[in-house]
Structure 1
Amino acid sequence: MRLDWQTFTLELAHPFRIAHGTSLTRTAVFVDLEGGLGEAAVVPYHGESVEAVTAYLEAVRERLADAPDTLQGRLERLPAEGSRAARAAVEMALFDLWGRALDAPLWRLFGLDPRRVPPTSFTVAMGAPEEMANLARAGAMPVLKLKVGSEDDLARLEAVRAARPDARIRVDANGGWTPETAHRLLPELLRLGVEFLEQPLPPEDRAAYAELRGRGLPLFADEPIKTVRDVVDWAPYVDGVVVKLAKSGGIAPARAQIETARALGLEVMLGCMVETRLAVGAAAHLAPLADHADLDGPLLIKNDPFTGLDYDGARLRLPAGPGLGVRPRT
């Protein structure tokens, strides 16, 4: 099968600061597999690099050369080791080809109802309190996810709540708090009406999560959730998990994680990296299965080269075209 790819620099609408650092741009690798499209998000703090993505794609090119002419047969040829983001990109392309061959969008082939897609949150990157308040006010989105994880977090939360008393607010520390900080701020988050707290502590400190859980604010795990086994292992410590295609390795692994989380009584938020409509559109086909959505990647980018996934405020309108339903802008 013909497999091509290109590296692309995503220009961000605003500086994107989280506990792991600040970005003005992000890197994506776009995949074209016989006309099926996919996207690999190159996120260094997830261990991804252009070199790792390229190495995986080179291996895939060889393994798909004589693969069976079926979706399942091709999926079984994908290497189990290596870049998860690259695997996700190739898998997106394979599902895109499958849907195009059947002339139907993936959500329809999966038997899902697009009316059940939850509203997406809009991410407000970490910054000075007034800067975050201005971004929250300007966006006027009903659901906000605030990035925190350093000094002055309480001032940031207070400023955003004052600017948007009507908003639903979620908080994501990207593992940037200590247990002491988390216990100190938890009553303040409850007072400010925060819905849930995402990855407050480093992933390796599960005992601290056990101490924090059950104190009135649901906890979600994000960074450590990459496999079904991770969902099972984290179930005793959190109330929900964040599932992302780039971490999971694609649509099918992400769906397996969602189903496992459901079986264990966990809530699910379907998320994304800073990605274009291509990768976020692929994830959106699974959104009817989630309790919460954080699929705002295209809203954070100035130069998204794809079309097909539309936003009506916080509502996602799932692609209507066959396969992923996402195409390059012309």
Structure 2
Amino acid sequence: MKLRWKPYTLELSHPFKIAHGTSHTRTAVLIDLDGGLGEAAVVSYHGESVAAVEEYLKRAAPLLEDPPATLQGRLELLPAEGSRAARAALEMALFDLWGRELGMPLWRLFGLDPERAPLTSFTIAMGEPGEMAELARTSGMPLLKLKVGGEDDLERLEAVRSARPNARIRVDANGGWSLEQARRFIPELIRLGVEFLEQPLPPEEREGFAELRRLGLPVFADEPIKTVADVVAWAPYVDGVVIKLAKSGGIAPARAMIETARALGLEVMLGCMVETRLAVGAAAHLAPLADHADLDGPMLIKNDPFTGLEYAGARLLLPQNPGLGIRRAN
């Protein structure tokens, strides 16, 4: 099998500010493995870089030159150490080839019902309260996820709620609050009808999550949830976990994490990075297994080169073509 890859710059529709910093572009590495497609999200705060992705791909390429015929045999060839985003990209490509060979989209091969996929939220990046309110208003989306992480967060939330009184709202601090700030903000979030709070504290403050969840608002962990072991370790401290292919290393590890979360009584949100329809489409095949979806990456970029995953407002229209079901636009 021949492996090729190319870094690709994602042009954002709006500046994307979160507690980790502000982006005007993001970078992905797009791969092609004998026609199977994959995407590695280069997210620096998860320790990823183009160099790390390429180093992993260079190690994996010779292992895949003459692979076994079975999907499982091919997956077992992927190096265990190194870039999780690169592993996810290669796994996407292998699942894509498998589905294409069998002539079915992955969700059908997994035995899932696409109608059970939850609505996706639409992300409103941090900004001035008026800017966030205007973006929430013009989006028209019924389910909003607000990025926060500063002292002005209550003004941001008030502005958005005023602009969209009937919208469902979730809040993601990306670890940007202190425990004291979170204690102070959570009663206000409850007053404003926020559904749940994602990653209020840095990952190292795990004990604080257990305290916060007792204040009456469900709390989810995102950044530290990368493996099945992480799901198990965090289960006593949170109400739910956020699972993403780029963090977990691919479709199969993400599905195992979902099953573990279910066994432990946790809610599951299936999320994405700022990614194209390729990576988000791969994740969408697992959406019927999740309670919540945050799969809006393609809505946040201007130059998505792929088609196959579509949206009817907040409803995910899962790919119908074989494999990932994602194809190049031109």
| TM-score, L = length of structure 1 | 1.00
Q: Matched residues in 2 for 1:206 and 1:61: separation?
A: 38
Residue 17 of structure 1 is matched in structure 2 by 17
Shift of 1:201: 0.2
Structure 1 residue ranges, 4+ long, deviating more than 4 angstroms after superposition: none
Kindly provide the CA deviation profile for residues 191-213 of structure 1, in whole angstroms up to 9, marking residues without a partner as x: 00000000000000111111111
The 5 Å alignment of 1:17-96 reads 17-96=17-96
Q: Does 1:254 align with 2:259?
A: no
Residue 133 of structure 1 is matched in structure 2 by 133
Shift of 1:315: 0.2
Q: Matched residues in 1 for 2:113 and 2:214: separation?
A: 33
Question: What amino acid is the match of 2:30?
Answer: F
Task: Indicate the SS of the match to 1:13.
Answer: strand
Question: What amino acid is the match of 2:26?
Answer: R
Count residues with an aligned counterpart: 330
Task: Indicate the SS of the match to 1:26.
Answer: strand
Shift of 1:67: 2.2
Q: Matched residues in 2 for 1:222 and 1:31: separation?
A: 26
Shift of 1:243: 0.3
Unaligned runs of 5+ in 1: none
Residue 171 of structure 2 is matched in structure 1 by 171
Task: Indicate the SS of the match to 1:68.
Answer: coil
Question: What amino acid is the match of 1:228?
Answer: V
Residue 263 of structure 1 is matched in structure 2 by 263
Residue 113 of structure 1 is matched in structure 2 by 113
Shift of 1:151: 2.0
Kindly provide the CA deviation profile for residues 285-314 of structure 1, in whole angstroms up to 9, marking residues without a partner as x: 000000000000000000000000000000
Kindly provide the CA deviation profile for residues 236-289 of structure 1, in whole angstroms up to 9, marking residues without a partner as x: 000000000000000000000000000000000000000000000000000000
Shift of 1:62: 1.3
Task: Indicate the SS of the match to 1:270.
Answer: strand
The 5 Å alignment of 1:206-285 reads 206-285=206-285
Q: Matched residues in 1 for 2:136 and 2:48: separation?
A: 30
Residue 305 of structure 1 is matched in structure 2 by 305
Task: Indicate the SS of the match to 2:197.
Answer: strand
Residue 290 of structure 2 is matched in structure 1 by 290
Kindly provide the CA deviation profile for residues 128-164 of structure 1, in whole angstroms up to 9, marking residues without a partner as x: 0000000000001000000000120000000000000
Shift of 1:68: 1.0
Shift of 1:64: 1.3
Cα RMSD for the two superposed structures: 0.5
Residue 148 of structure 1 is matched in structure 2 by 148
Question: What amino acid is the match of 1:296?
Answer: D
Q: Does 1:319 align with 2:328?
A: no
Q: Matched residues in 2 for 1:23 and 1:315: separation?
A: 27
Task: Indicate the SS of the match to 2:203.
Answer: coil
Q: Matched residues in 1 for 2:22 and 2:295: separation?
A: 20
Shift of 1:173: 0.1
Question: What amino acid is the match of 1:25?
Answer: T
Task: Indicate the SS of the match to 1:111.
Answer: coil
Unaligned runs of 5+ in 2: none
Question: What amino acid is the match of 2:84?
Answer: R
Q: Matched residues in 2 for 1:244 and 1:38: separation?
A: 14
Q: Matched residues in 1 for 2:42 and 2:207: separation?
A: 31
Question: What amino acid is the match of 2:148?
Answer: V
Shift of 1:97: 0.1
| TM-score, L = length of structure 2 | 1.00
Task: Indicate the SS of the match to 2:25.
Answer: strand
Q: Matched residues in 1 for 2:151 and 2:303: separation?
A: 32
